[in-house]
Amino acid sequence: MNDFNDFYAEGAQALFDRGVKEVPRAYIQPQHERPSAAARLVPGKQLPVIDLSRFHGDGRNQVMEELKSACESWGFFHLINHGFPDSSMKAMLEVVRQFFELPAEIKMRFFQKIGTGRKARYGLSFNTELDRVSDWKDFLAHPCHPLSDELISTWPDVPLHYREIATEYAKNVRALALRLLALLSESLGLRESFIYEAFKGHHQLLVINHYPPCPQPDLTLGVRGHTDVYGFTIVQHDDVPGLEVMKDGSWYAVSSIPNAFVINIGDQLEILSNGRYKSIKHRAVVNSERTRFSIVSFYGPSHDATIAPAAEVIRQQPDQKAEYREILFEDYLREFFSRGLDNKFNINSLKIKK
């Protein structure tokens, strides 16, 4: 094994614990990928904020318009007054902190080099065999749907209460996701159950990202620019900044609003909405001071669902043509996971040439 691979096996947490003063070569991004101050934090622009409680009141039409416009222009928004129990958000953040503090040999019981979205995985980079540059993070991922004792028994059994707290969190995520599915359907002019049905058996994947402080944060990334491959994503942040969104060729730092979620559209909703809703490129930068966590729930179709542009959406568009080929979600995921993030499978390969 060369030293390049040794660094992969070691991971960002181990490097931080060892007190390295320089980022090893395996974590250094090529110049054009590095977080450059110039392209960030364009003042005056912030993600839209959607207040879920307003869907019940007089302002319903207006907030529906805001949702539509957020999904069309940013593909990202903050969600406030979402009804997700505060206690569940706090408990989850606390228990995942404890997980990442566990000794490496315990976490490594769950180590896998490559993801599938189907099994619990402790990971040190997206694809440990193929990534040319490793991410400055470690993470825990596992599916959360359909919830059964059998599924839960595949999750980490440490720390104490992890399974209990993650079960509660997963149920709350699903409840929120189902509300969003209905609203997103309506916002596209579809019947309320449209996306719910299109996703068939549904899939829900929890990914907990842990970004340790980095001695040279300008040389590396927590996760490099990518789009999310599922339907949409529900992100819980802590108060440490790091998430950045690409808009009009610039990176925007996403602020964190206490108790809010960040929601973003993934590739499957871009396809289903025939490109009206955008699956936007985003990344995470790291810093030299503070550890950052993000608790990310990917919600989308079951593996056996075929995703295609909705005929009803196509009919509303000027060209009235499908812009994307349909795809079996299992095939999409296989392409996604079997490549390194450098060769990431891209939604553009499904675009129908004009």
| 113 neighbors 127 (Cβ within 8 angstroms) | yes
User: Toward Ni ion, which CB reaches closer, 75 or 275?
Assistant: 75
Shortest separation between residue 62's beta carbon and ligand OGA, angstroms = 29
If binding means CB under 6 A, how many residues of this protein chain bind ligand OGA?
Answer: 10
The encoded tokens of residue 68 equal: 């539509």
Shortest separation between residue 224's beta carbon and Ni ion, angstroms = 10
Q: Which of 13, 172, 294, 297 binds ligand OGA (CB under 6 A)?
A: 294
Angle at 99 between CA 89 and CA 34, to 5 degrees: 85
Is residue 124 at the binding interface for ligand OGA, with CB under 6 A as the rule? no
Contacting residues for 339 by C-beta, under 8 A, at least 6 apart? 127, 130, 345
Residue carrying structure tokens 């994307």: 324
Is residue 284 at the binding interface for ligand OGA, with CB under 6 A as the rule? yes
Is residue 125 at the binding interface for ligand OGA, with CB under 6 A as the rule? no
Query: What mask of x and - would describe binding to ligand OGA in positions 205 to 224, judged by CB under 6 A?
Result: --x-x-------------x-
User: Toward ligand OGA, which CB reaches closer, 107 or 292?
Assistant: 292
Mapping DSSP onto H, E and C, the string for 189-246 reads CCCCCHHHHHCCCCEEEEEEEEECCCCCCCCCCCEEEECCCCCEEEEEECCCCCEEEE
Q: Cβ–Cβ contacts within 10 Å for residue 190, how many?
A: 21
Shortest separation between residue 285's beta carbon and ligand OGA, angstroms = 9
User: Toward ligand OGA, which CB reaches closer, 12 or 284?
Assistant: 284
**CA gyration radius, the chain:** 20
Shortest separation between residue 229's beta carbon and ligand OGA, angstroms = 9
Contact set with ligand OGA (CB under 6 A): 207, 209, 223, 228, 242-243, 282, 284, 294, 296
